[in-house]
Chain A
Amino acid sequence: QVQLVQSGAEVKKPGASVKVSCKASGYPFTAYYIHWVRQVPGQGLEWMGWINPNSGGTEYAEKFQGSVTMTGDTSISTVYMDLSRLRSDDTAIYYCARGPNWGGFDIWGQGTVVTVSS
């Protein structure tokens, strides 16, 4: 069964960092890019960036450059999204999603709720 399973909910203080994991199974891990998308409660979807698990290459949305780092560990088929210098408006659900080259994000993780509060 092809799936992405994310780590659990996090509560962080402003200024801290959070690291969310996304474990892939059921398909060749290095064959597909993984994207990260966030959704502020009650709002729409915002693309954050992608990682190529094969090469480790990344590309981030300009908004997140300098605050997000995406990494991967091929030995455990897992990618990570590290978001630093958290602010209250980073409170959101963070999703990882598989991005095949034929278009669209076809498999999504279940989402990780990150709450930033003092």
Chain B
Amino acid sequence: EIVLTQSPGTLSLSPGDRVTLSCRASQSVGSRFLTWYQQKPGQAPRLLIYSTTNRATGIPDRFSGSGSGTDFTLTISRLEPEDFAVYYCQQYGGSPPYTFGQGTKLEIK
């Protein structure tokens, strides 16, 4: 089973800040199979980025993804108030289980 470790656990930031979230895998993950989700309280997760770098439909371009192998990042170039949420990475490919990271919470400073 591939374990995904996200860091940091919580970030306190202000609107307008730039933020980079980390997702590290216990073994190599194909770039095609790394995704990022955003989840707000009381809502289902929402797909943000698939295949490491591709924004899902309707996702603003302030969100970007990068990485390869075991190290992946999600960057939000300029935080908007609606971006304060929990972010999860997931590896989705090869053999199951299709594991998620434990999440990074962005909170308003």
Task: Kindly list chain B residues whose C-beta atoms are within 8 Å of the C-beta of A99.
Answer: 92
- Is A59 interfacial (CB-CB < 8 Å)? yes
Q: How far is the CA of A99 from the CA of B37 in the complex (A)?
A: 13
Chain A nearest CB from B5 CB (Å) reads 12
- Please tell me the size bucket of the interface on A: 20 to 34
Within 8 A of B (CB), among A49-80: 49-50, 59, 61-63
Chain B nearest CB from A13 CB (Å) reads 26
A47-B100 contact given A103-B32, A103-B35, A104-B90, CB 8 Å threshold: yes
Chain A nearest CB from B89 CB (Å) reads 10
- Is B94 interfacial (CB-CB < 8 Å)? no
The answer to whether A45 and B92 touch across the interface, beta carbons within 8 angstroms, is no
Chain B residue with the shortest CB-CB distance to A35: B98
Chain B residue with the shortest CB-CB distance to A100: B50
**What is the total of A-B residue contacts with beta carbons within 8 Å?**
69
Task: Kindly list chain A residues whose C-beta atoms are within 8 Å of the C-beta of B50.
Answer: 102-104, 106
The answer to whether A106 and B96 touch across the interface, beta carbons within 8 angstroms, is no
The answer to whether A45 and B56 touch across the interface, beta carbons within 8 angstroms, is no
Of B56, B96, B101, B102, which is within 8 A of A61 by CB? B96
Extra contacts besides A44-B102, A104-B51, A106-B47 (17): CB < 8 Å: A37-B45, A44-B101, A45-B39, A45-B88, A47-B90, A47-B99, A59-B96, A62-B97, A63-B97, A103-B35, A103-B51, A104-B35, A104-B37, A104-B50, A105-B45, A106-B56, A110-B44
Interface residues, chain A, with chain B CB atoms under 8 Å away: 35, 37, 44-47, 49-50, 59, 61-63, 95, 97, 99, 102-106, 108-111
Which 3 pairs show the lowest CB-CB distances between chains A and B?
A: A104-B50, A108-B44, A104-B35
15 CB contacts below 8 A, A to B, read: A37-B100, A45-B88, A45-B90, A45-B103, A47-B98, A49-B96, A103-B51, A103-B93, A104-B37, A104-B47, A104-B49, A104-B92, A105-B37, A105-B45, A111-B44
